[in-house]
């Protein structure tokens, strides 16, 4: 029995996002995401921004990432639980919402588990386009887990990377990455350790998942002119780069207040200079300024990227006719009469035939006849 009517909140499942990739092709999806994310970074001052709201527990973190401009509000729910894979669950699961700022009405609820992986890789490639040396073709990929293929393909499509030098502490992860990229035309080279993988690389992407203060990269591993795309360190206590890597580099970040807490930057003094990447993408500040310079993109993921990705998926799904409706928000015959929804569902004449219900907790009666919990102590009865 369906008696409630609903306002039009659209829904996109992971299958719908896969269907968008099938119909548009992966290159067009990566390019479309890049265009949308870049366009939103270029209008950075229009957004109301805040660091994400993290809830830490012994096994992981759950985060809410809100952002808005004058017309739309977006947020993402995302977790990070490194131990999940042992339970058969993804490490990162996510979904997000787009709403109309002028009414608060939820327009779109969308899967972001797959979409987060795409937008993270595309954001890395956008930054590298301004920070890596022109003609960079060889990328070291340290950490060959869930995000690694996305990084590889975004850099291949958007930057022209053609060779990957792989290292992971788990050889099975590298083997999976090689299987997944077979036939892509990307050359992959398995390396014995991080030092071997980064030797000769134009770009170094670190995307490791351990929640610890690691030093995957140290300054002595880096040669002049390399670009470091550090993606795996993204919460307090989780870093990948040694402090001397940052000291010897020009460091670029998404949103400085968040990266100071979550990025490799958390290891540095509060006045350590960084540049927000929107300033480079919008032409206000230079990216790379010499062939010898070492650049670092200390990426932690920012709500603006999800806002842009939600907009892209909404537009694509609308164009392709994939939007389904989700019965999330009830339509009211009279919007001032919320109870009108409930009234047909309850028999009011039976409402209080008997005496009022007693409190759930064990209660005694206080000196003025008021209920007092049995556990109460310390005040006069």
For residue 142, the cross-strand partners are 167, 206
Q: Are 37 and 122 in contact (CB under 8 A)?
A: yes
Which span (52-60, 195-203, 305-313, 315-323) binds a copy of itself, by CB under 8 A? 52-60
Q: What are phi and psi of 80, to 5 degrees?
A: -145, 110
CB atoms within 10 A of CB 205: 30
Query: What's the DSSP call for residue 291?
Result: S
For residue 61, the cross-strand partners are 56, 80
Query: Which residues in 58-77 contact a copy of itself (CB under 8 A)?
Result: 59-62, 64, 66, 68, 70, 73, 75, 77
Question: Which residue in 16, 202, 234, 306 is the catalytic one?
Answer: 234
Q: Does 375 bind a copy of itself (CB under 8 A)?
A: yes
Q: Does 91 bind a copy of itself (CB under 8 A)?
A: yes
* Min CB(14)–a copy of itself separation in Å: 4
**Sign of the alpha-carbon torsion through 83, 52, 72, 126:** negative
Cβ closer to a copy of itself: 176 or 195? Answer: 176
Q: Residues binding a copy of itself: what is the number (CB under 8 A)?
A: 143
* Min CB(137)–a copy of itself separation in Å: 10
Count of alpha carbons within 13 Å of 342, Cβ hemisphere only?
A: 4
Q: Which of 190, 252, 192, 246 is nearest to 222 (CA)?
A: 246
Q: Does 356 bind a copy of itself (CB under 8 A)?
A: yes
Q: Does 334 bind a copy of itself (CB under 8 A)?
A: yes
Is residue 168 annotated as part of the catalytic site, yes or no? no
Q: Does 158 bind a copy of itself (CB under 8 A)?
A: yes
Cβ closer to a copy of itself: 273 or 351? Answer: 351
Q: Name which position in 43, 46, 50, 213 contacts a copy of itself (CB under 8 A).
A: 50
Q: Name which position in 150, 167, 278, 312 contacts a copy of itself (CB under 8 A).
A: 150
Helix (H/G/I), strand (E/B), else coil: 367 = coil
Q: What are phi and psi of 55, to 5 degrees?
A: -120, 105
Residues known to be catalytic = 234
């Amino acid at each position: 029995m369906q008696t409630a009517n609903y306002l039009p909140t659209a829904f996109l499942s992971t299958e719908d996002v896969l269907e968008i990739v099938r119909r548009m092709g992966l290159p067009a999806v990566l390019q479309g995401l890049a265009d949308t994310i870049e366009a939103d970074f270029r209008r950075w001052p229009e957004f109301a921004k805040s660091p994400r709201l993290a809830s830490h527990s012994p096994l992981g973190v759950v985060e809410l990432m809100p952002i808005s401009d004058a017309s739309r509000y977006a947020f993402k729910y995302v977790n990070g639980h490194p131990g999940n894979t042992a339970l058969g669950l993804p490490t990162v699961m996510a979904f997000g919402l787009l709403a109309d700022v002028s009414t608060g009405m939820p327009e779109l609820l969308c899967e972001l588990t797959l979409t987060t992986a795409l937008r993270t890789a595309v954001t890395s490639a956008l930054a590298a386009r301004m920070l890596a040396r022109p003609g960079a073709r060889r990328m070291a990929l340290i950490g060959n887990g869930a995000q690694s293929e996305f990084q590889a393909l975004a850099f291949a499509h958007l930057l022209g990377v053609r060779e990957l030098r792989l290292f992971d502490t788990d050889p099975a992860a590298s083997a999976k990455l090689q299987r997944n990229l077979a036939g892509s035309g990307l050359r992959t080279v398995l390396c014995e350790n991080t030092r071997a993988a980064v030797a000769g690389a134009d770009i170094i992407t670190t995307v490791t998942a351990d929640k610890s203060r690691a030093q995957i990269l140290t300054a002595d591993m880096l040669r002049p002119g390399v670009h470091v795309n550090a993606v795996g360190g993204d919460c307090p206590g989780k870093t990948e780069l040694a402090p001397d890597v940052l000291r010897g580099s020009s460091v670029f970040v998404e949103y400085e207040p968040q990266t100071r807490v979550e990025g490799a930057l958390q290891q540095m003094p509060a006045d350590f200079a960084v540049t927000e990447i929107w300033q480079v993408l919008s032409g206000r500040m230079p990216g790379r300024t010499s062939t010898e310079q070492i650049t670092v993109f200390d990426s932690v993921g920012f709500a603006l990227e999800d806002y842009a990705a939600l907009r892209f998926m909404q537009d694509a799904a609308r164009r392709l006719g994939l939007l389904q409706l989700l019965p999330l928000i009830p339509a009211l015959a009279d919007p001032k009469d919320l109870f009108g929804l409930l009234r047909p569902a309850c028999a009011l004449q039976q409402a209080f035939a008997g005496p009022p219900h007693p409190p759930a907790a064990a209660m005694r009666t206080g000196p003025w006849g008021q209920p007092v919990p049995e556990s109460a102590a310390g005040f006069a009865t």
